[in-house]
Amino acid sequence: MLRYIVKRLLLLIPIILGVSAIIFILKTFTPGDPARQILGNDATQEQVDAKREELGLNDPVIVQYVRYIGGVVRGDFGESYRTGEPVLSEIVPRLATSAKITLGAVAIGAVLGILLGILSALKKYTWVDSLVLVISMFFQSVPEFVVALVLIMIFSVKLHLLPATGIETVKGYILPMVCVGLSSVASYTRITRSSMLEVLSEDYIRTARAKGQTEGNITYHHALRNAMIPVAQSIGTNLGNAIGGGMVLETVFGVPGVGKYIVDSITQRNYPSVLGGALIIAIVLTIINLVVDISFVLIDPRLKTTIISGGSKAPKKAKAAA
Amino acid sequence: MSENILEVKDLVIHYETDEEVVEAVNDITFTLKKGQVMGLVGETGAGKTTTALGIMGLLPSKVGHVIQGSIKLEGEDLLRKSPREMRDVRGKRISMIFQDPMTALNPVKTVGDQIAEVVLLHNRCSKAEALKRAQEMLAMVGIVPERYKDYPHQFSGGMKQRIVIAIALACEPDLLIADEPTTALDVTIQAQILDMMRKLQKDHGTSMILITHDLGVVAEMCETVAVMYAGQLVEFGSLEEVFDNPKHPYTRALYQSIPSLDKDVERLHVIPGMVSDPSNLPPYCSFFERCDEKCDRCRDFEPWAVEVDPGHVVRCLQYTPEWNGGEK
Ligand SMILES: Nc1ncnc2c1ncn2[C@@H]1O[C@H](COP(=O)(O)OP(=O)(O)OP(=O)(O)O)[C@@H](O)[C@H]1O
Ligand SMILES: [Mg+2]
């Protein structure tokens, strides 16, 4: 098990190197001088030059890159050009806010999607099935910010039930969570439906019927757990999408999360913050995917042998007496 | 109480899909006495599994339909029972062992739980008692009872089949339907499993329908034999009658198709021609095209069942007054 975790964490190295390389390359091609950006238009050229020297912007890009990676290894993501604060300490509280919204969104999307998927599998080829398909396709194809604006119109402007922006109260979380969540419903519905249909036609379902088991228990005890395996696997992927969607929506809803932080930093050419934000999200995603994969073991006992012992065979059990 | 455990009469089962109607079982009639073992043999696609699923009430929903007939278990017509009543029958009074043990067990449940499930469904007992029964059953089929906590993927194919048998026998059913219980296993394991099944069947006096391709197995285990062809029972009778005195041309051809040690393997007789397509059966004898005993009148009639000797029924024109001489 430990070997497996270490192996997976080692994957972080190419991810960090790659993500930061991309952003460094973008940085060299973007016009404008970050030093000028920080000091404002009133600063003299000498002041700007001094700042450039201080920030190390005069060094070759490759030197800057190596220096940056060296910092990351020590947990130093640089300082924000705008505030001078360490990027890490600016991001951590925002990360918590984003995490709440993302987790809420994944929960809403997964619960709704799984329920709808089960429903359409049990009622396959009926009008219920088609209706579920249409609804979930609708939420998948309409852009999230459009859904967001419509929900703001209804719940904030017309009904005055929920705030349009900000997260001063807990209510502020609801609309962003729902918007991001709805966009992933279709994907969960589709995966649940097809995996449920596949599982329901398995021989062991017939075995359960041959025991005299009720249809309800067959769905719940025999089919669901098997059908959830691909669904759980898709949570990792959906999480990435939810974070991406969340970034845009944080700006729409004025939520001070990592997404808004990165978007704001991009407009300010605040490279350390952009880079730090992107890297931290990549690291968090990798770790979450690892946790998701390990948790499969809880659902599917067959994986225990492959994951825990890192691929080698499980110890041989006592042979049958015959 | 009648001495028959099962009476199937005039049973017709169709599969109706969008494209076609498959006439899988066409008007079959047979009876099984208490404690007896009946062999149900026939080529692939003959309708053996369909017959078994019909008896179990497990035909695929929407597609499989019983068109007519009756299936009486100790005099009660199963076809008239509600889904709820059928659930009480399945697993308790009739159990079935399916063709493929590899896929018959739920991969995410321990084998102990899977045996205990059927015990809990049909007995008033606690989970702990059911698990204890599960361990007894494992021991009975020759698996170390402590392994009840293991998952199906930790067992070999032969052991999985033993577990499937343990599930089927856990509630001591009156009737066991075994659908090719050993075809998916290799030859040495086949013999072990069959020995075990025969012993359990004898000990408990269970009545059994054994579906198989293997006439050797039938000869060893069965008291009566039903030969199926294209959804019909072409011959039914006691093992001695059917084996020593086969009446139907298909049964005779089948015997010639078994490789035998004392015969020259080179002369292995393969029945020429293809099995009739059950979605497009002729209005006359469905074995006509492949029969080497047919006469010119065979095309005019769908043969009906004739009792040639007491308890020995054959569906062939030869044994009716319509027959006008073979061309052997
Ligand atoms: N779900 C289904 N839908 C449509 N046709 C079916 C279905 N199941 C079986 N059939 C058809 O019914 C006929 C009888 O099938 P069945 O499975 O009863 O044969 P069998 O005698 O058990 O064969 P085997 O020895 O291969 O198991 C075959 O022609 C088969 O194609
Ligand atoms: Mg079959």
Nearest atom in ligand 1 to B50's CA: 18
**b/e code B131-145 from CB counts within 10 Å (16+ = b):** bbbbbebbebbbbbe
Contact flag A322-B107 (C-beta cutoff 8 Å): no
Average pLDDT over residues A96-125: 91
Residue B325's pLDDT band (cuts 50, 70, 90) = low
How far off is chain A from B252, nearest CA to CA, in Å?
35
Residues B104 and B160 sit within 8 Å (Cβ to Cβ): yes
- For chains A and B, what is the number of CB pairs under 8 angstroms? 89
CA angle B324, B327, B328 (to 5 degrees): 130
Q: Which residue, B168, B301, B9, is CA-closest to B181?
A: B168
**Least confident piece of the model among A59-68, A188-197, A312-321, B318-327:** A312-321
Close Cβ partners of A197 (under 8 Å, ≥ 6 residues apart):
A121, A124
- The mean pLDDT of chain B is 89
Nearest atom in ligand 1 to B53's CA: 18
A150 or B272: whose pLDDT is higher?
A: A150
Determine the Cα–Cα distance for residues B32 and B13; give it in Å rounded to an integer.
Answer: 20
Condensed to tens digits (0 to 9), the pLDDT of residues A280-308 reads: 888 888 888 888 777 777 777 777 665 55
Residue B153 near chain A (CB below 8 Å): yes
Q: Which residues line ligand 1 (CB under 6 A)?
A: B 15, 17, 22, 24, 42, 44-50, 60, 63, 278
Residues A171 and A159 sit within 8 Å (Cβ to Cβ): no
Which pair of structure tokens corresponds to residue B202?
């004898």
Residues A266 and A274 sit within 8 Å (Cβ to Cβ): yes
* ipTM of the modeled complex: 0.88
What's the pLDDT at A307? 56
Torsion of CA B274, B279, B280, B284, to 10 degrees: 80
Do strands B224-229 and B37-41 pair parallel, antiparallel, or not at all (unpaired)?
Answer: parallel
Determine the Cα–Cα distance for residues A261 and B47; give it in Å rounded to an integer.
Answer: 68
Residues A299 and A232 sit within 8 Å (Cβ to Cβ): yes
Average pLDDT over residues A170-180: 87
Q: Which residue, B146, B187, B184, B191, is CA-closest to B164?
A: B184
What's the pLDDT at A77? 86
What's the pLDDT at A46? 86
Q: Candidates B17, B18, B22: which one to mutate for ligand 1, based on the most atoms within 8 Å of Cβ? A: B22
Residues of chain B in contact with residue A211, where contact means CB-CB under 8 angstroms, are 90-91, 117-118, 121, 167
Which pair of structure tokens corresponds to residue A318?
């006592």
What chain A holds in terms of domains, given with CATH numbers, is: 87-321 (1.10.3720.10)
Residues of chain A in contact with residue B175, where contact means CB-CB under 8 angstroms, are none
Cα of B78 from ligand 1 centre, angstroms: 22
Residue B7's pLDDT band (cuts 50, 70, 90) = very high
Condensed to tens digits (0 to 9), the pLDDT of residues B252-276 reads: 888 776 655 554 444 445 677 777 7
* Among A207, A225, A318, beta carbon nearest to B98: A207
What's the pLDDT at A310? 45
Query: Cα Rg for chain A, rounded, in angstroms?
Result: 25
